[in-house]
Structures are given as structure tokens and as C-alpha cells.
Structure 1
Amino acid sequence: MTTARPLCLAEALRRPGYLLSPWPWRALAYLLTTVPVAGVLAVGLLVVGAPLLAAVNAARQDRPVELPLVLFLAVGALTVLASAPVVSIAVTAVERQRIGLVDGRPLPAYRWRGLAARYTGADAWREVAHTFWLGGVVPLGYAVSTLLVLLDLTLVASPWLVGDADEVIVVWTTVDTTGEAVPYAVLGVLLLPVLWYGLGVLAAAQGAVARWLLGRPADGAALREVSRSRARLVDAYETERRRIERDMHDGAQPRLTSLTLHLGLARLDVPEDSPAAAPLAVAHDQAKNLMVELRQIVQGIRPQSLTDLGLAGAVRELAGEATVPVTVHADLGQPLPELVESTAYFVVSEALGNVVRHAGATRAGVRLVQADGELVVEVSDDGHGGADPTRGTGLTGLADRVAAVDGRLLLASPPGGPTLVRVELPCRR
């Protein structure tokens, strides 16, 4: 089963029907569930941050900073740094559950590697950075957003508020009659969709930062380029092509030549007005054309579905044949070169085959995005991960095929999953 529905809030925001879809409500739920987490973290940071600001202000005014304040700041800073790797475990665990509201792509599963790893591993300190982001930066964005929402609600409610007071302050002016407040109320109503959309942008930005900090493989093996050798691919291809040509020359071609000669002699012996003359002529012509067709097959094999359906349609056909549910998102603009289409098709075919055979996944996704003269192909799954190009030839063969068109293949597959195969193919004509 395939569909082109967006996988994350950032994609949904670019769709014309965003405001009428469930995504705004999912964004609001994501923002609201952030408030208690970010609030607790913000209070904790303020305990140290407020005295720090006081010390900085005193230093700027050339006033001496009292020793108790310096000691408090030192102890507080050390306490925050010492506890942050542990506190971030709970914070990121909650985030991994919540991010599904705005991004359907799974994050790498958390694996406990011991207390020492929490202070030495790069992945742990990325989680710490995410925790500080939630407690220090996100509340500022929420405060501004809340102020804008309250101002807009004041505009909308101003005709009713005027009746309860002598005058009402509306943004930059005051109104004291209902007639004066009505235009501001109309403006507030018109701004409601803008605010509704803006909350989605805020949630998408927060989710993007969370994915950037938490979406890297937990074992430190970030997206890495799979080892590839263009020379190996070219040599193997040339060797195979020469073998096929030799087999054709030594085996198929003599037999076809003999068949063509016999058909030609038979045409000479059969009168032109004979009923067998026309079929014999057709057979003779087909035999002569067969060698040409075989040479074309050797030069390059292109799946028929690519010709009939295009890359997006052919990939959806592959997804429909998979034994696990696969979602397909295609954003293709300009026509693609045939070699790029074929390469992308075989990448998806092999990657989905690996998902079915080895990943133990319950679902997978395929993304085809064309932008800035490049085709990006991503195949992801929620399986157990652990894909390693050194343990087989499948991924290395794909990297070879991609390298032949000046592209590159990257892989992220930490133990526990998920797995992401990303291929970048230049497609400038």
C-alpha cells in the first residue's frame, strides 16, 4: 500500500491544505506537551542563570563580585554539568515518544552503555545540548508566541471588552467605543490563520532541532559514506560485457547467421506468389534484426515499468509488491536522465529487498526529492538496524552503481535501528 502523504510537519506546511489537515492540531499537541518539560528545565537553569546575570552586571559596573556569589556560581555550574548527562536521559526519552506528533520518521533507539559513556560519548552530549535547548531557548520562543496569541485574542475580543471598561488598549492605541474596536476585531480574525500556521512553523522548527540533535546514530557512527570503487564497477562491467559479446560472437551469432542464410536460400527457392513467401520474408527480416536487438540488450537493460510509469510510478509499483507497508513520497520536477532513473530504481529495489529479507521491519518509507540539480533517494525502515557493508556485497554493489554516475551512497544503521539509506545523484542534463 503506498501513499504520498507527508511524513513530517515540515512537509505538511508546504501543502496547500495544511490548515484543514490534522497537522495543525498535532503541532499544537506537540507544543503543549513541551510546556511542562521545558518549564521545569527553565526553572532549573534560572537558579544558576539569575545569579550569573547579577555577577555579570556587577562586573560591567565595576562593582566587586561577592565571594559567596562566586562560590554559588561555581558549585551551581559544576552541579548542572555533572547532572546534565543523567537528566538528559529522561528528557530525551520523553522527546522520542513525543516527536512522532510532528515527524513520523523514527529516531534511533536508546541503548544504555553504562554511566561512564554518559560523560564520554558524543551522543550523550548531543542529548545534553537538546536538554539545554529545551530549557534555555524554547521557552523564549514560546513566550514570544504566547504574547502574539494574547495580542491577537485582545484584538478579536476588543468589541466586548470595551463594554466592561472605559477604554481598552489595543496594540498601539486605545479604543473606547465598540465602533472603534470592530476594525481591530476584524483584523484579529484575519490574523488567526496566520497564527495557526505560525504555531506549526514553531513546532516544525523545534522538531527539526530535536531530530538534528537526537537523530544521529547512538553508536557515534553518523551517516557514513559506504566504501565504493568506480574502477571495480567499471572493470566488472567491462569484463561481463566482453564475456557476453564473446558468447554472442562464438555461439549465438553463428547460429543466427546460419539461420539467416537458410531463410534467405529458402526465399530463393519459394516462388513469390507462393503462400509461404510472405511469412518466410518476415522470418528472414526478424532473424536479421535479432542480432541488433541482442546488442541493444547488452548495452543496457532498462526496466519496462520505468518507461511506462516513470520513476515515481515504478517505485510505487515496487512498494506495492513489498511484504511490509511502504510509504512513498515523490517530489520530482524536471525530467531525469535515463541513467539516473535506472540507478535510483535499482537502489530502491535492492534497499527494499534488504528491508524485507534482513531488517525485521514493520514498515518502511521511500523519499524521492529533486532539488538543486540533484536527485536524493532515501529508503528508511524501523527494523533492528546493524547493516554493515563489510559483511556482504549488496550495499557495496549499490555504492558501485551509484558511483558510476558520480553519485554517493550514505548509510546510517545503528544497532537497534532505524536504518536509513541515502543516495545523492547529480541529474543536471
Structure 2
Amino acid sequence: MSLADEAGTTAGPDDTARPDGTAAPDGPTAPDGTAAPDLAVRRALGRRPPAFLFSTWPLRCWLHQLGGVLFGLGVLLALAVLVSVGILLSVAGVGLLVLACVPLLGIPVARLERRRLRLVEPVRLADPHAPVPEDGLRNGLPRRLRHRFAERATWRESGYAALLAIVFTGAGLGVLALLAFSCILVASPVVVWALAPETVMIIPGRAVPGPLSALPFGLVGLAGVALSGYAAGWLTAGQVWTARMLLGPRRDPDHHRVIELTRSRARLADAFEAERRRIERDLHDGAQQQLVALTMTLGLAELELKGSAPEAAALVARGRGEARRALEQLRDLVRGIHPQVLTDHGLAAAVAEVAQRSPIPVEAAIDLPRRLPPLVEATAYFTVTEALANAARHSGASRVGVTGRLVDDRLILMIIDDGRGGADPGAGTGLSGLADRLAILRGRLTVSSPVGGPTQLRVEVPCSA
């Protein structure tokens, strides 16, 4: 069972920066509360509309609409075939499965659309789908299907596929038909000049007597080309905006608050670590040195009183022993706050040292290619020490194994004992505290402890948290 969940990071509600540190654009907001995308097509149309016609934008928009019409007709045909096959086979029961998989057609359609948008939109649209979570089991087709059906992005993409096949394809056909007819009108004087007069009929039932008589039709064709250019631009802008809203990643309305809360937890963790280091330094440089001086002073007093007052010397020796034991306890306390070996040599050496002090034989195998961030090392170290202490007090184990490795910039620790099992996070065994400590770094603690053993703790800590 998982004892800690993970959260992302972003700016707070009053912060004007994105999570990546860039400034958030001003302007209208999208339905999810984020700033509306500043589309390149819309900028080209709104900056200087007359200059739009003399740029490469009309040609790019026409090509985008042509590709969209061809692609949309293919999507419409695929939808019609799937629905028809599903209805025909529904009597046998197989058709229901085909109909249920129709929404999944939006996933490849959206993937191709995100690539096709690069013709008119330089900002790359990210894939909104989350990877199938790994839990040590083989990810088969049923598991992947369940994961995709549970995602809202899948249903948004299926809706976009329907819009592409019906709305945008029909509108694109209209724009391209206007362009084709306008181009014919523009070429009408040349056509009339090349062919014999009175044989070309632009208007049904009425022949054009000569090229000069076809010039008005050419001017109308030029106006139609300009109109089709603007129509293609605005239609492309609407399609890109729709794609950004439906095919891109979305943020939930509480995203800013969740991230600011996570940042606050990280700041509290840093402050807690700094305060712990200060306490360690004060104990080491203050109380510990005073106890050492007291022990030496009592030793000198014992030597002075040994010959003249044996009873007083015995009392001084007793006080010196108490001071020595207090000094040892203080040193253990300082070592428990933050061991020096962890600072000097890293997590592997610190775990090896605590394994030697454990009352249960511990086999430690921490294989890390580099030093980890200090807060990650400290969190992992105290997680291991608390787990070993729990095993010594509650498990009745005879052996404990601790392994650690770095996988995809995540520290993975496995602590396994051969005890009686039955560990319950709600029974006050410290597992909930470990999960809370890991949650500060967006880590996760997974416990497997069946009755009769063994008990297995899996710790995951992202090193970039």
C-alpha cells in the first residue's frame, strides 16, 4: 500500500512566473485558468492584415487546410467503418468491443495532428497522456486500455477527432472550393485569350466575347483569392486554438495552490535541516566541550583527593563516571542528528556504519554512481535507521537486507527482513512518520508485510525534488 502521494510544483496564485521560471503572458485566460495561447497565425492576422496576403502565411494556411481536409476525410471514413462494423457485429457481442474502442481512434489522430500543426504553429504541443504507472507487474494490453480510458485526455482527443472529421473538414472544403473557383476566375482572361472567343462561358448560357470582357471576372477572382486567404487564416487559427485546448496538457483549477503548498513543504524541510545542523553544531561546540572539560576537572580532583580523602575521591570518581556517560549519550545524540560520515563519505558509508551498530545482522549493498543531494541523503539515511530500529523492536527478524540503487534519477531503497511480518502503519510503528518525511521530497514508501513475513519496504526518492 502506498503511504505518500506525489505533487508537482508551480507558482502561487499571486506569482506571475511559470514553473520553468519564464514570465507568464498577459492576455485572456483559457478555460483551465491558464493564459490563452498566443497563436502565430493570429499574430500575423492581427498585426497588419494587408501584409498578411503578401507573406507566406496564406500559402501555409491553404496547405494546412488541404492536409486537414484529406486527413479529416480519412478520419471520417475510419469512424464510419468502425461504427458500421460495430453495429453489424453487435449481435454477436464482438461489435460492442469495437464500438467501445472507437474513442481510442482519437489518440493516433491527435498524435498526427500535433505534428501537422507545426506547419502553422512553431510552439510544439506536448503529449498530455501520462505513462502507464509501473508497479512491478507486466503492463499488458488490458491494463493499458484501462489506463487510457481513465484519462480525460483520451476523451478530449476523441472529441477533437469528431470535430476534425465533420466541422473542420467541411469548413476546409468550403475554403478550398472558394480558392479553386477564385483561381479559375483570375485565369479567365488568359483562358479566353488562348481559346477562340465566344466559346468560353464563365456564366452559364452567356459566352465571353474577348479577354477584355473577362477582366472583371479576373478582378472578382483576385478578391476571392484574398477572401479565401483570410478565411483560411482565421479557420487555421480557430483549429490551432481548438487543438491547443483539446490536444495539449491541461491543468486543474487547484494546480497553483497545490504547487505552492509543495514549495512551502520543501522550504520547511530546508529550514528544518538547517535548524538541525545548528543544534548539532551547538551541542558539539558547546555542551560536549563543557562535559569534556568537566570530566578532566573531576579527574584532576580525584587525583588530588585520592591520598587525603579517599571517600571524597570515590564520590568524585563516581561523578566523573556519570559525566563520561552523559558525554557518550550526548555524542550518540549528535551522531543521530546528522552523522559526520554521511556528510564526509555519503549514504553508502553511513548505512554501512549504522548496519555495524545494529543488534540484528544487516547486509547493506548501496551502489550509487555519485553523491546525492544532501537533503535526499539525509532523508534516505534516517529512513534506513528508522526501518532498522523498527525491525529490531517489532519484527523478531534474524537478518535484514538493505539495497540501494539509482534508477532514472530516483533513489530506490529496499529494506527486507525475515521477521514475523504484519507491520501496520496505523499501529504506531513509525511507518507513517517515514511516509510523511518522504512526502516532503515527493517520495513514496510502499510496505509489503504479510502475516508470517517477510516485511519489505520500498523507498523511492526523486533526486531532483
Which category of TM-score, normalised to the shorter sequence, fits these structures? 0.3 to 0.5
Q: Please say which structure displays the higher CA radius of gyration.
A: 2
Give the structure-2-normalised TM-score.
0.38
Q: TM-score, normalised by structure 1?
A: 0.41
